[in-house]
A and B are shown apart, each in its own frame.
Chain A
Amino acid sequence: GAVVSQHPSWVICKSGTSVKIECRSLDFQATTMFWYRQFPKQSLMLMATSNEGSKATYEQGVEKDKFLINHASLTLSTLTVTSAHPEDSSFYICSARANDRAGQPQHFGDGTRLSIL
């Protein structure tokens, strides 16, 4: 159980393109979803936290107009990288959590490798 599906796995596109990444919880309803970015050999960096039906909470330094997050249902969240540039190339990973009870873990998707040419 607790499967999180993330698509696409790989994206290669030209500078200036907008890219949408989907994150779905397949066998549970996710109250909260998280979006991370990870550069090679570096730590996970939390970008934003989203709760179903409400606006995402962005971490300091993350541009909310550039990284649009939508959590329209309890099983789907999307991250749109608008007008992507080469410096946005990274490994983007979503995770989902069923509820806020103590001990409830986050489950990660397989990640999306984004390359902007």
Chain B
Amino acid sequence: DAKTTQPPSMDCAEGRAANLPCNHSTISGNEYVYWYRQIHSQGPQYIIHGLKNNETNEMASLIITEDRKSSTLILPHATLRDTAVYYCIVRVRRGNQFYFGTGTSLTVIP
């Protein structure tokens, strides 16, 4: 599975949109982009995934560039409870191996 690159940390003001970038320049045509987050030392939580089209659910939006080499997770109205480490993962759909990397530590500031 392709590896990903994320900034180690970001801040966001409460109520504003948080935009978390991810680079996956070696992504293959059959690989999806998944996002998970981990609050403190709890188990990671699934957020969203996509292949090439932009996706939205009740938690977030996922924007994937046309060449699929990068993506952005958008939390439209960040709250203090969104403070967490966010992981961008690229893998084949329902693939067996997950490479989480070190993620982006997002701090939402009051």
The answer to whether A and B belong to the same complex is no
Residues on B facing A (Cβ under 8 Å)? none
